A and B are shown apart, each in its own frame.
Chain A
């Protein structure tokens, strides 16, 4: 993209996406001032490298990729953190928060799961996401919060689409485990196999002791 025309488009794209970039930066750094610094660095780098942007339709994706790259090279605290085993971990089996809540003792109402969804706060969801391993957190936010496609997430994080897909599935699974702990704090408790499992899928209900915190 030519410099002058590019800078105008870039200014517009930055202003349109500044809140999303800032939220993404905060989800990565988990620190407000670092997040702001990271966004500023991203914008500066984007301006310097504007001629490298080939497709202006991908300007938002490009900004997120720059931000993610700067985070990985300059901001990540623990560069030697444990890598996630993509083949799965013990205790990584499918967990259904719906199953847990709908068969819980919180049954004054016919739809405890809907009550839970209405009651769970934005802060609690953000907190649960913040506790996810970095790869899962980043992928989940790009997918569910910023609504990027799998292909776009793959380009932003430089990972294969299959990996993106697997991370999203595992991130949602882990998020549901975390949220189940909050559900318990809200007074929803697992019933001891009182309700018959209507579904024929053979899925086992998870006892509290089996919930693995990450």
Chain B
């Protein structure tokens, strides 16, 4: 028998915002995720707020170190001596 599709519950902006971090890190699953996606698609303010959180996260990610050749050489020497 086919499962009856249940309607996704509407949530308030406050609840949506509280789920942003889990959603950003891909930890939001199941109904919680569906409810947030529905809310964001219907609430422009929360959508913009979430997009900003994404931009900020990617900006922080840019701190990821670029290749440090001097350090690499030092470690190569160190490891060769071990």
Contacts and interface: CB of A to CB of B under 8 A. Distances in A.
B61 interface: yes
A125 B59 contact: yes
Given A98-B48, A201-B14, A201-B17, A14 B75 contact: yes
B63 A129 contact: yes
Given A94-B17, A201-B14, A15 B56 contact: no
- Top 10 A-B pairs, shortest CB-CB distance: A201-B13, A19-B65, A98-B52, A23-B65, A199-B45, A201-B14, A144-B60, A19-B68, A169-B21, A198-B45
A160 interface: no
Interface residues of A, number: 50
A147 interface: yes
Interface of A: 7, 11, 14-15, 18-20, 22-23, 36, 39-40, 43-44, 47, 94, 96-99, 102, 113-114, 117, 120, 122, 125-126, 129, 140-141, 143-147, 150, 165, 168-169, 172, 175-176, 179, 198-203
Contacts of A96: 17, 49
B10 to A, nearest CB: 11
B61 A203 contact: no
A6 to B, nearest CB: 12
A203 B14 contact: yes
Contact of B44 (A11, A198, A202): A198
Nearest to B60: A144
Given A14-B75, A98-B52, A150 B64 contact: no
